[in-house]
Amino acid sequence: MVRVVLPQPLAALARIDREQTVEVQGAATQRAVIDALETAYPVLRGTIRDSATHRRRAYLRFFACGLDLSHEAPDALLPEEVAAGREPFLVVGAMAGG
Amino acid sequence: MSSVRVLAGTRKGAFVLTSDGARRNWEVAGPHFPGWEVFHVKGSPADPNRIYAAQHTDWFGQVVQRSDDGGRTWNAVGNDFAYEGETGTHLWYDGTPHPWEFKRVWHVEPSPSDPDTVYAGVEDAALFRSTDGGKSWGEVSGLRRHPTGPQWQPGAGGLCLHTVLLAPNDPKRLYTAISAAGAFRSDDAGESWRPVNRGLQSEGFLPEPDAEVGHCVHRLAMHPARPDVLFMQKHWDVMRSDDAGESWREISGNLPSDFGFPVEVHAHEPDTVYVVPIKSDSEHYPPDGRLRVYRSRTGGDEWEALTEGLPQRDCYVNVLRDAMTVDTLDPCGVYFGTTGGQVYVSPDAGDTWMPIVRDLPAVLSVEVQTLP
């Protein structure tokens, strides 16, 4: 089980708490975690990754264990602490005005 | 007694403003989708309780919301706007080819007869249609595949399809308008399209006087009882067509500026037209700091300023292309929203105005539903 913390607007959109636990099929990677999240909450499809390209949306960042994982490959393994559920995978909205 | 429901999309959420038919006392509900840009909210003519809303942020992309209870509660529906087939390219700002990329929905246009059918005009310019209440969207790809498509080039606001008109006398006839490509018409329910821009003059940035595309159309309007007469607010110039877009002539007449965004037609008088002159394309506020709606009762050319109840000094707001509408009561109500957060109503066809609300986020769109 992987813990995921969402930005408040996405939690509000899905009408869920910001921290969620998802069951990941296979290795814990960014792709697997977000796939699981979108399966559990289809309303989040397209809001974290672009629907067509599946690339991370430009104004979102991924963090875990004090590391910026935003530029890691989607299929790279997440830190063991995240895979074991001891640390959350953070989806963070970039600070930008407006 | 009749009532009205005004649907306001703003830079930071949507608001629902309701009143009885007198249109003097208002209740304000919202914000719905707080923090999100809501480019457009529009109700189904076939089922007024069915309302579609297009919400977007640069952070989280596009979401489409649907209400089945007149805007009290909402549920997200489909947000996958996938261009059909090979997407190809249009021109970028520097004149180089640039692939079509979906950015956001600018306009939703529900079918007049089927609550589950709704069109979406999007950026980069394309038309989508849903026939299942917004759950899924398919591109009406004949428009983007028009041979001029690779020549389309965005204006400052993006390559947006912002206007969709459905001809009430012919279910196969549709109009769209794209900044800065022009107006297009389909006579076969969207299968094929052709530009309808003859007569538009864009000397400032189009060297070819008879250019088929490249015109910065800001808005189209029609009266349902006379669907072959179209009115257009262009980047500069207010225009009129009496032949379903085959040709256009300028009707700017005595307007203090013929730059602007919205154009609307009175619900019961097909020759009564409203525009909001804006000083220029670099100064997006009213001339002289005076917020004036202009009304023509002659189908253009001759315009009168409507000022009673509107600020006549120190006013520097803009009125965006989807932010003006009319109800179908008698007398006709006219509504518009400003980038300063005001939504104004005139319950007497423009003679007098009053603010419904003064302090919303910047208003992006205003629609109204006339309810029994």
Please tell me the distance from the alpha carbon of residue B159 to that of residue B50, in angstroms, as a whole number. Answer: 29
Please tell me the distance from the alpha carbon of residue A92 to that of residue A56, in angstroms, as a whole number. Answer: 11
CATH of B27-319+326-334, one of 2.60.40.10, 2.70.70.10, 3.60.20.10, 2.130.10.10: 2.130.10.10
Per-residue confidence at B357, pLDDT binned at 50, 70, 90? very high
pLDDT, mean of residues B109-117: 97
Residue of B nearest to A50 (CA): B61
Per-residue confidence at B124, pLDDT binned at 50, 70, 90? very high
- A11: closest CA of chain B, how far (Å): 12
Confirm whether A98 is domain-assigned. no
| Nearest CB neighbour to A46, from listed B57, B59, B62 | B62
Query: At A40, which CATH number?
Result: 3.10.20.30
Asked if A85 and A2 touch (Cβ cutoff 8 Å), the reply is yes
pLDDT tens digits, one per residue of B242-265 = 999 999 999 999 999 999 999 999
pLDDT tens digits, one per residue of B37-70 = 999 999 999 999 999 999 999 999 999 999 999 9
Residue of A nearest to B60 (CA): A47
> With an 8 Å Cβ cutoff, are A46 and B35 in contact?
no
Query: For residue B102, what pLDDT is reported?
Result: 95
pLDDT, mean of residues A6-18: 97
Please tell me the distance from the alpha carbon of residue A81 to that of residue B218, in angstroms, as a whole number. Answer: 54
pLDDT, mean of residues B223-234: 97
Query: For residue B207, what pLDDT is reported?
Result: 67
Is the CA virtual torsion B3, B49, B58, B140 positive or negative? negative
| Nearest CB neighbour to A10, from listed B60, B79, B83 | B60
Please give the residue range of the domain that contains residue A48: 2-93
> With an 8 Å Cβ cutoff, are A47 and B61 in contact?
yes
- Chain B contacts of A60, Cβ < 8 Å? 59-60
pLDDT tens digits, one per residue of A16-66 = 999 999 999 899 999 999 999 999 999 999 999 998 889 999 999 999 999
**Chain A interface, mutation test: which of B37, B55, B58, B59, most A Cβ atoms within 10 Å?**
B59
Confirm whether A23 is domain-assigned. yes
SS3 annotation, chain B = CCEEEEEEEECCEEEEEEEECCCCCCEEEEEECCCCEEEEEEECCCCCCCEEEEEEECCCEEEEEEECCCCCCCEECCCCCCCCCCCCEEECCCCCEEECCCCEEEEEEECCCCCCCEEEEEECCEEEEECCCCCCCEECCCCCCCCCHHHCCCECCECEEEEEEECCCCCCCEEEEEECCEEEEECCCCCCCEECCCCCCCCCCCCCCCCCCCCCEEEEEEECCEEEEEEEEECECEEEECCCCCCCEECCCCCCCCECCCEEECCCCCCCEEECCECCCCCCCCHHHCCCEEEECCCCCCCEEECCCCCCCCCCCCCCCECEEECCCCCCCEEEECCCCCEEEECCCCCCCEEEECCCCCEEEEEEEEEC
Residue B235 has pLDDT above 90, yes or no: yes
Please tell me the distance from the alpha carbon of residue A26 to that of residue A48, in angstroms, as a whole number. Answer: 21
Mean pLDDT score of chain B, rounded to an integer?
96
- A95: closest CA of chain B, how far (Å): 10
pLDDT, mean of residues B141-167: 95
Query: For residue B358, what pLDDT is reported?
Result: 97
Confirm whether A62 is domain-assigned. yes
Query: For residue B203, what pLDDT is reported?
Result: 75
> With an 8 Å Cβ cutoff, are B80 and A45 in contact?
yes
pLDDT tens digits, one per residue of B7-21 = 999 999 999 999 999
> With an 8 Å Cβ cutoff, are A51 and B57 in contact?
no
Per-residue confidence at A98, pLDDT binned at 50, 70, 90? low
Number of structural domains (chain A) is 1
Scanning A26-95, the segments in alpha helix (DSSP H) are: 30-40, 80-83
> With an 8 Å Cβ cutoff, are B79 and A45 in contact?
yes
State the count of interchain CB pairs (< 8 A) between A and B: 50
- Chain B contacts of A13, Cβ < 8 Å? 60, 63, 76
Q: What is the ipTM of this complex?
A: 0.94
- Chain A contacts of B81, Cβ < 8 Å? 51
> With an 8 Å Cβ cutoff, are B61 and A57 in contact?
yes
User: Residues in chain B whose beta carbon is closer than 8 A to a beta carbon of chain A?
Assistant: 34-36, 57-63, 76, 79-83, 102
Q: Which of residues 36-75 of A touch B (CB under 8 A)?
A: 43, 45-48, 50-52, 57-60
Query: For residue B183, what pLDDT is reported?
Result: 98
pTM above 0.95, yes or no: yes
Residue B327 has pLDDT above 80, yes or no: yes
Beta bridge partners of B10: B13, B363
- Chain A contacts of B35, Cβ < 8 Å? 9
> With an 8 Å Cβ cutoff, are B80 and A96 in contact?
no
Q: Which of B181, B187, B162, B188 is nearest to B109 (CA)?
A: B162
> With an 8 Å Cβ cutoff, are A51 and B79 in contact?
yes
